Amino acid sequence: MNIVRALDVALPELPEATLRRSPPRLNPHVIAKEHVEKGKPIVIAKVPGSEVVLRFSPEQWQVVRLLDGKRSFEEISELSLEETGVSFSPDDIREIASFLTDNTDFIYKTPIEKNILLKHQLKGQRKKRGRFHIADFTDITVMEWPRADDYVSKLYPYLNFMYTRNFVLLTLAMFTVMLWMWADKFGVIWNDSFEFYNFTAKSGRDLVEFWFLFAGMAFFHETAHGLTCKHFGGNVEKMGFTLMYFAPSFFCDASQVWIYGGKWERIATSIAGIWVDLILCFAATVVWWGTATGMWIHDFSYKVMMVTGIGVSLLNLNPLIKLDGYLIFCELIHEPDLKERSTRFLSSWMHKNIFRLPAEIEYVPRRRRVFYICYAILSGIYGYLLLSFLMVLTYHILRSYSPEWAFIPAMAIGYWVFRARIKLLVSFMKLLYLDKKERVRAWFTPVRLVLVGTLVLLLVIPVWPEFAGGPFLLEPSQVALVHATVPGVVTDVYTEEGWAISAGKPILRMRNLDLASEVAATRAELQLASARALQAQLRYSGVGAAQQERQQLVEKDRLLSQKLANLEVLAPISGIVLTRNIRDMLGQPLQEGAEIASIADGSIMRARVYIPEFSMRDVAVGSAVRLRISGGQGLRSGLLSSVAPVSAVAEDGLVPKEQLKGINPSHYYMGLVELRNEKGDLRPGARGNAKIFVAHRSLAEFVWRFSRDLVGRRVW
């Protein structure tokens, strides 16, 4: 049985009686110093080892100092009036003492009282944990060094030169030289500084190397905070090593500088870690710049540059999260606890003005209210994005092993990270429901119920058609290209562009004198060969040779006659002549293989529909398509017969070119739709817009799909 359990059994009422009967006494270890903020004196105080820092007016601090464990509240009230000239009633003093007792360590507590408080804390923790409890991995304290001040005190005499004016100027010169060394590769270094933190592309060895490298640099960073605090008269209360979401992180409690130091001393303490990071980055840059590519020291120095350079410095200087930049920003604008105050102001303002809940809004000067709201929103969004990082990282790592099920552990991690905020949301919804329950019931009259029901039906019933749109270009389903099979000079042209022509009808006629002469000569030789073959038969000698000669001339005559017939070019199919200025060929010589005309079969037209890439997931072959042809030619309907498996480039003029570089052109996939041209009013080259029917959806489904796609494109 431990001492807490023993006290619970033997002395269950003693602590409460002791707290009621003994006057409060100020903790003798409290440290405090008077400062001037916004032109007014203020006393900043804290208890070493505690994270609570309080600000008092000089009159309030004088009252707190009178809490000696002997004087009653009435006596302190009289003494405060004599010493400060400000009247504090016994109830006011009792309220101050009660606040300090319940929320801070400013009031001295006996060992018995500490044990009882420990018992209550443990009991409260057990109630929160319930029957099942899993350790919180968001912030695991591995080790603490309460005597860290001894380490810093021993180190400070050897490094106090860092706080001289000459060394500061030297470091500025070092940073300038570092930038000069980066000059020719600054773009690469800038990109690598952020790509270095892309854990999805790292191997197991890379992750281990990063873990130890980051831990080592973090140690030097936190030591710099402690040395600077020591330089300005404060003590380092503790240092430690923690795992935040399993990432290594050192911490150094340099909060005493907020007691002993002024504005610039606090800023110097906050920026000291970044300053030392940049010094280490300079040293690594010199080694990287002066060593050959491929050496291990060259590669290691470059990685040190990534850990201590641009990426870490910008992250630490970001005022939206409570790191060094946040502390510096708070000092510059004279707003301590900016995040807590702005978040509390925004939350209470929304409770009161938007949700109409009872809430007390902390007074904020009018000129700062917009700033408070903007900062609270931006810091909240940035904080949630950082909290989502672990969930996204888990998904990307596991997706390479199991793309289908990687979302399950990612969602589990996300729930674990956001569980406290989910509980707050649930509590808020309960509070909102209890506050508005009666009012909502009174508002829902029968008429309003009917209207709301109708609205809900409109939202959930899938009656709204969804289309996937894209430009299209009409072309004939069959096009025949007519070429010259023999050379010749065009003597007659029988058609023009746009004329209908039937299969077998002549297009043009050519003349070839050489071919005609060769045909005449071949036919004369054929007659002679026929006569010689007849005589050979009559003499019964040389019949074979004569017959072979005659047969060769017959075949030659057949081929030449076919070429002669091809001088009249005929249409291979029925359709429309597409060739422009075909009559300009009259009198022109044509070589063998020259293109003469193209004829399109206009009975069935084909629309090439260019479907945007983002619509491909909803488009299926066989979907109904509605086409609106430009120029007032009306609507046509058809079915999507096929979709190309790869993307295609849209025809010039179909898609307008954007002049803004921030608007990236979409990729298109080509789909085909066949249309019957029974009336003959569809012309090749006609353009328009097509709508491909996808499905009937509800308005709620439209909103859900849009939100899901928005999150999916940017978060995952």
Residue 661 confidence (pLDDT): 43
Are residues 294 and 159 part of one domain?
yes
pLDDT band for position 15 (50/70/90)? very low
Say whether 662 sits in a helix, a strand or coil. Answer: coil
What percent of the chain is modeled with pLDDT above 70? 88
Are residues 348 and 220 part of one domain?
no
Mean pLDDT of the chain: 81
Does residue 451 sit within a domain?
no
Does residue 199 sit within a domain?
yes
Are residues 216 and 305 part of one domain?
yes
Inter-residue long-range contacts of 682-686, CB under 8 Å, 24+ positions, other chains counted: 682/474, 682/602, 682/605, 682/629, 682/633, 682/636, 683/474, 684/474, 684/475, 684/476, 684/576, 684/578, 684/600, 684/602, 684/605, 685/473, 685/474, 685/475, 686/473, 686/474, 686/629, 686/630, 686/631, 686/633
Q: What is the DSSP letter of 25?
A: B
Q: Is the pLDDT of residue 63 over 90?
A: no
Q: Is the pLDDT of residue 670 over 90?
A: no
Q: Is the pLDDT of residue 156 over 50?
A: yes
Are residues 178 and 120 part of one domain?
no
Q: Is the pLDDT of residue 6 over 50?
A: no
Q: Is the pLDDT of residue 166 over 90?
A: yes
Tens of pLDDT, residue by residue over 612-641, are 887 888 888 888 999 888 876 678 888 888
Q: If you compute the radius of gyration of the chain from its CA atoms, what whole number of angstroms results? A: 45
Please state the rounded mean pLDDT for residues 174-199: 84
Weakest mean pLDDT among 215-224, 378-387, 606-615, 702-711: 702-711
Top pLDDT among 72 and 227 is at: 227
Are residues 641 and 563 part of one domain?
no
- The sign one gets for the Cα dihedral 144, 149, 150, 154 is positive
How far apart (Å, rounded) are the C-alpha atoms in residues 297 and 424? 50
Question: Which of 389, 423, 444 delimits the end of a domain?
Answer: 444
How far apart (Å, rounded) are the C-alpha atoms in residues 289 and 180? 11
Residue 434: which residues within 8 A CB-CB, separation 6 or more?
A: none
Are residues 148 and 115 part of one domain?
no
How far apart (Å, rounded) are the C-alpha atoms in residues 235 and 220? 18
Does residue 433 sit within a domain?
yes
Are residues 685 and 574 part of one domain?
no
Please state the rounded mean pLDDT for residues 76-103: 82
Are residues 586 and 537 part of one domain?
yes
Sheet holding 247-252, edge to edge: 140-145, 239-244, 247-252
Are residues 177 and 317 part of one domain?
yes
Residue 373 confidence (pLDDT): 92
Does residue 456 sit within a domain?
no
Residue 655 confidence (pLDDT): 67
Say whether 644 sits in a helix, a strand or coil. Answer: strand
Does residue 460 sit within a domain?
no
Are residues 263 and 244 part of one domain?
yes
Q: 34 - beta bridge partners?
A: 43
Does residue 470 sit within a domain?
no
How far apart (Å, rounded) are the C-alpha atoms in residues 515 and 487? 9
Give the number of domains in the chain: 5
How far apart (Å, rounded) are the C-alpha atoms in residues 478 and 601? 5
Q: Which two tokens stand for residue 666?
A: 């979409």
Residue 326, Cβ neighbours under 10 Å: how many? Answer: 19
Question: Which of 536, 555, 590 delimits the end of a domain?
Answer: 590
Q: What is the CATH number of the domain that holds 709?
A: 2.40.30.170
Q: Which two tokens stand for residue 471?
A: 């430009």
Q: Where in the sequence is the domain holding 205, given as residue range(s)?
A: 140-336
Q: Which of 126-135, 222-231, 550-559, 674-683 is modeled with the greatest confidence? A: 222-231
Residue 509 Rama label (left phi>0; alpha psi -120 to 50; beta) = beta
Say whether 139 sits in a helix, a strand or coil. Answer: coil
Angle of CA points 650, 652, 656, to nearest 5°? 85
Q: What is the DSSP letter of 184?
A: G
Tens of pLDDT, residue by residue over 289-302, are 888 877 888 888 88
Are residues 18 and 79 part of one domain?
yes
Question: Which of 303, 321, 336 delimits the end of a domain?
Answer: 336
Residue 375 confidence (pLDDT): 92
Please state the rounded mean pLDDT for residues 410-424: 82
Residue 599 confidence (pLDDT): 83
Does residue 468 sit within a domain?
no
How far apart (Å, rounded) are the C-alpha atoms in residues 509 and 495? 11
Does residue 124 sit within a domain?
yes
Tens of pLDDT, residue by residue over 264-323, are 999 999 999 999 999 999 999 999 988 887 788 888 888 888 888 887 788 888 888 888
Are residues 317 and 176 part of one domain?
yes
Residue 596: which residues within 8 A CB-CB, separation 6 or more?
A: 482, 483, 484, 507, 508, 569, 579, 582, 585, 590
Q: Are 668 and 612 in contact (CB under 8 A)?
A: yes
Q: Which two tokens stand for residue 329?
A: 């920003």
Q: Is the pLDDT of residue 462 over 50?
A: yes
Q: Is the pLDDT of residue 228 over 90?
A: yes
